[in-house]
Structure formats: structure tokens, C-alpha cells
Structure 1
Amino acid sequence: MKVNVINDQNIKKIDIKKIKEVVKTVLKQEIGDRSFEINILITNDNTIKEYNIYRGKNEPTDVLSFAYGLDEEVIGDIVVSVETIDRQCMEFGNSFEEEFFYILIHGVLHIVGYDHETSDQDAQTMFELQDNYFKQLIKLSN
């Protein structure tokens, strides 16, 4: 398993090693330790807004996940905007780092097939899982 992280912003200090550890842990627990790659782009609002055009939105979001399939060499790409996360972290009572990893976990869960937009039950399952990983990997370590 290879986690590629591209830090294309200088707004916030980002712990690349911790990103790789968290992503690998979630992926191992969800789909096992297999041979694949996942790409993570850490960027700003302008860049994520450009990617959002593919979703028919003309605005920045906190995270975008592009899943290519779990049998592919590259299973997906995740794009994260530190500017959006920085704005919303206070709203949720998290530090920037906590909110960053909460959102990153969300993106990884989309890559492995979870979707909160298909049904209320699917949303509940995904958000419970996201909360559990957050508590296990981030909240208890702070």
C-alpha cells in the first residue's frame, strides 16, 4: 500500500507522516493490506473549487474523493482544502488538526465505498464509522 501526499499549499503546517499513518490504518481495517496506491492533494479553496466543477458545483468544499475501484492500481484521489477546514473547525469545536483528520477520514471512507448521500441508513453507517476512527486515531492521541 502506498499513500502519496502532495502538499500544494503553505497556509497551514501539515504532518505528512501522520496523514500516511492515519490513511493506512483506516484502509487496512476497511480493505486489508493490499498492493495499491491512493493519492492525497492538500490544497486551497481555489484549487478545490476547480475540481468541484466536475461535480457541477462552483464553490470550494472541505474534501473531494474520486474513487476508481478497489481492484485498480490507484484506488482513488482525495483533495482537501485547508482553507475551508480552517473556517469550519471552530463551528464543530475542533482544532484545525482535528478537523483536518476528521475530514480526511471521511474522504478515505468514500474511496472504499461508503456513501452518505444514498440513504439515511448509509449515512448513519458512514458517520458512525468516521466518528469511531476519529476517536481511535485522532481524538485520543491529542
Structure 2
Amino acid sequence: MINFFSENNFELEDNAAYEKWLQQVIISEEKKEGDINYIFCDDEYLHEINVKYLNHDDYTDIISFDNAVGTILHGDIFISTERVAENAEKFQVTFQDELKRVIAHGLLHFCGYKDKTDDEAQLMREKEDEKIKMFHVEQ
């Protein structure tokens, strides 16, 4: 089950459309849907998580906690909507497009994709682009 929560009053425009899209992404990666929680928050909330659980004293747009069991995806994905808005402006894309990229990014981590090296980051970006295009498919 895919759930959407908010710690900062943010709401997706259409939860059902996002849920269907993410289910398609999971299937396209030959994985199964478990319990996946998206938690939208502000910079400070995510910064506290980054410091407390990852020992990183910096701001980020997303933190994912992967609890997958085999091919069944489980986990929590925290997204700073403030950071998404800043990055959208920085990269000259819409907030919605940047949000889709970050939402896909978290799920792709659960599917086993990493982004620490240049090669991994390039593959991750290609996968993000591929999955974002799936959102536009008639559902």
C-alpha cells in the first residue's frame, strides 16, 4: 500500500494518480508493492532526520529508509517540499516536475538503484526520466 502523509500541510494534487503511477513504476522494475510511505515535510523537519539518523548536518530534498524484503518494497520516503521548490527554480522546471523526479528517486532507491558515483547518478537520472514519462500515460 502506498500512503501519503504531510508534516507541513502539503497535499498532492491527485493522490490516486500518483499511487497508480508508482504502482506502474514498481511493476516496471519487476518488484512488488509493500508498505511505502511518502512523508512530505519542510527543510527543518528533514534536517533533523538527517542529523539524528544519518549523522549528516546538511539539508537535502529526500531521505529514504529502505525496508524491502526480497522483491517486496517497503519503506519510508521523506521529502522536503521547500527543497523541491528551490530545486525546481534552480533547474528551471515546474514544481510538479521536480516533485515527480524526487518521488520516483526515492522509489528507485528501493528498487536497488544508487547514486553515489557518477555512473550510478547518471543511471539514476535516466531511470527517473523514464519513470516520469510513465506518469503521462493514460491510466
User: How high is the TM-score relative to the length of structure 2?
Assistant: 0.84
Give the corresponding residue for 1:57: 56
Give the corresponding residue for 1:116: 115
Give the corresponding residue for 1:67: 66
The CA distance in 2 between the partners of 1:109 and 1:23, in whole Å, is: 10
Q: 1:69 Cα shift? A: 2.3
Which 5+ residue runs of structure 1 have no aligned equivalent?
A: none
Runs of 4+ in 1 over 6 A off after TM superposition: none
Taking the TM superposition and a 5 Å limit, the aligned residue runs for 1:123-138 are 123-138=121-136
Secondary structure (helix, strand or coil) at the match of 2:93 reads: coil
Which 5+ residue runs of structure 2 have no aligned equivalent?
A: none
Taking the TM superposition and a 5 Å limit, the aligned residue runs for 1:21-100 are 21-32=20-31, 34=32, 36-53=34-51, 54-71=53-70, 75-100=74-99
Answer yes or no: is the 8 Å Cα contact 1:36–1:72 preserved in 2.
no
The CA distance in 2 between the partners of 1:51 and 1:120, in whole Å, is: 26
The CA distance in 1 between the partners of 2:19 and 2:34, in whole Å, is: 14
User: How high is the TM-score relative to the length of structure 1?
Assistant: 0.83
Count of residue pairs brought into register by the alignment: 136
The two structures, once aligned, show a CA RMSD in angstroms of: 2.2
